[in-house]
Structure 1
Amino acid sequence: MMKPIVRVPCSVWRADSASATMTAGTRAIPEETAIAFTFNTASYAVMMATPQDLEDFAVGFALTEGIVPSLEAIDTVEVVEEEAGIELRVWLKAKDAAEFLGRRRKLAGPTGCGLCGVESLIEAMRPPPAVSQGRVFTPDEIMTAVSSLAAHQELNRETRAVHAAGFWEPARGLVAIREDVGRHNALDKLAGARARDGGGGGGAHGVIVLTSRVAIEMVQKSAMIGAPVVVAVSAPTALAVRMAEACGLTLAAVARKDGFEVFTHPHRIAGASKSDVA
């Protein structure tokens, strides 16, 4: 299987160099390859992604895209490396396979596409199921969740070019983290890791932490995971805020060392109030 990181030669120029000339160097960069998803031999989507944690990717994608209702619907996952990329062959159990094949779609998506399998504008804009009430987190807990990611971003530490999605709980800290060149892919991998580890239904007691901006599909996928609180280091889009409001998700973003901003449903963060939210 191809490695997730490749070291390539490059020419390096630094402004503080005494000679101010180009020197030979190398740089670790993330691998990116085509990942094809098939369900019981039916093609579904092609994504560009980092070739790591692929079983998690297959399971998480199936869950967050609503292809299957739960992990129990999946029989097996095969990772098959081919000349042009990697095929993730997901085999569904008989009942779920029949339901999937009845609504089969075939499409190809760009890097990190988060709307695969969507055929209409109405379907793209449909809010996910409402999230559960969950618990209340203190601002200090939110800050701890955000700061916990950096030390575990192994791919990004080497490449400075990938996104991360993590799941943090007050009692256990950072429970899981996944990285990928695509922000949606990282979140799908996190969903798969949680489901395969038996934590698929425990989202209400933790926080999803993202190193990326928050677009609509990130809200939709987080809600499908079942986490009522999402915190991101970058800002959300206006559509993401409207979607979070519609499905009852608490969205905090622009998280920095000195604080964060809450955009929707502030009642899950102690000290925040509706009057504080624009």
Structure 2
Amino acid sequence: MTTSQGYQSFRVQRIKQSSTSIIEDNIIEETPIALSYNGISHAVMMATPTDIAYLAKGFSLSEAIIPNLSYLYDLEINHYEEGIEVQMQIATQAFVELKQHKRTMEGRTGCGLCGIENLQQLNRPLKKLAPANPAWLDTLTAVYHHIKNHQPITQATGAAHAAAWVVNGEIIATFEDVGRHNALDKLLGYLLTEQRDTTEGFVFMTSRASYELVRKCTQCNIRLLATISAPTTQAIKLANESGLTLASFCREDGYVVYAQPQSI
């Protein structure tokens, strides 16, 4: 077994029709990553161990733990046999508010809500967004066509979600992870670390559009979320409430706008 970036190679037995062969198969990595703030553990999620600093920053911002990166004083990544721990030091004000709303999560790759304490936590206020640029929708089919060239982990394993940042029809950055919300957090962490204007472009994802993706985009002032697969009812509801334009089933021959159709 050899380690690679985001995946590992295994010798496996493949049976196809009547023949058997031994092949090398690339398998995506899924590692426990613990996030702690000011020495107190907050969340453990299963994620692909790439771009960990961006993941931690994006999670902190998209989950409204800190309002911006000036509240993050230090970030340290420690690797252990059991997994990876990210220790962050945040401003006292943010830490006090975090303790007041503390939750301990075991974040599974398919879940963005694991560990919440009550249903009221689903209804924290949403930012109100300005309308998306209608011209962005005209670029969706081209982005769909080109995004596969920006997914090295997916090309190797067939198992990763991707989140891409698109400006003027060009894919500027793409991040992959076994969890769709982790991929988005990595992208958001990158955008805010690099001080990108999040109103100048949109997010394109190779996943379904679910509740937590819409909320995370809204929290970071993303005006358009486009996905290859279907949306959920909660995603549509939140997009309409916040003003985010939601386009799904983005394929080479078109797309469907599920929220803010006036953007067309």
Same fold per TM (> 0.5)?
Answer: yes
1:229 is matched with 224
- Kept in 1, the 8 Å contact 2:136–2:168? The answer is no
1:174 to 171, 176, 198: 171
2:76 alignment partner, SS class: strand
Instruction: Give the drift of 1:82.
Output: 1.2
Question: In the comparison of the two structures, how many residue pairs are matched?
Answer: 262
Partner of 2:207: 212
Q: Whole-Å Cα distance in 2 between the matches of residues 117 and 215 of structure 1?
A: 17
Residue identity over aligned pairs, in percent, reads: 34
Runs of at least 5 residues in structure 1 that lack an aligned partner in the other structure = 270-278
- CA apart distance, 1:68: 0.5
Contact 1:44–1:117 (CA<8 Å) still a contact in 2? no
Give, in whole Å, the separation in 2 of the partners of 1:2 and 1:115.
30
Aligned equivalents of 1:70 and 1:262: distance in 2? 30
**1:168 Cα offset (Å):** 0.1
* 1:247-262 correspondence runs (5 A): 247-262=242-257
What residue is the counterpart of 1:5 in the other structure?
7
Listed as ranges, the matches of 1:15-164 within 5 Å are 15=17, 20-115=18-113, 118-126=116-124, 128-137=126-135, 139-164=137-162
Q: Is the 8 A contact 2:10 2:27 kept in 1?
A: yes
SS in 2 for 1:89: strand
Give the aligned residue type for 2:26. A
Deviations 1:22-50 (A, max 9, x none): 11111001111101110011111110000
Residues 1:2 and 1:90: Cα distance change in structure 2 (over 3 Å): farther
User: Offset of 1:127 from its aligned partner?
Assistant: 5.1
Q: 1:198 to 1:247 in 2, by over 3 A?
A: same
Whole-Å separation in 2 of the counterparts to 1:237 and 1:41: 36
Q: Which runs of 5+ in 2 are unaligned?
A: none
Query: Out of 241, 246, 249, which is 1:246 matched to?
Result: 241
Quote the RMSD (CA, aligned, Å).
1.9
Write the distance in 2 (CA, Å) between the matches of 1:255 and 1:90: 37
TM-score normalised according to structure 1 size: 0.88
Check the 8 A contact 2:132/2:245 in 1, yes or no: no
The residue aligned with 2:186 is: 189
Q: Deviations over 1:111-149 (max 9, x none)?
A: 243125632212214452122224222543122233332
Moved more, 109-118 or 252-261: 109-118
The TM-score normalised by the length of structure 2 is 0.93
2:16 — aligned with what? Answer: 14
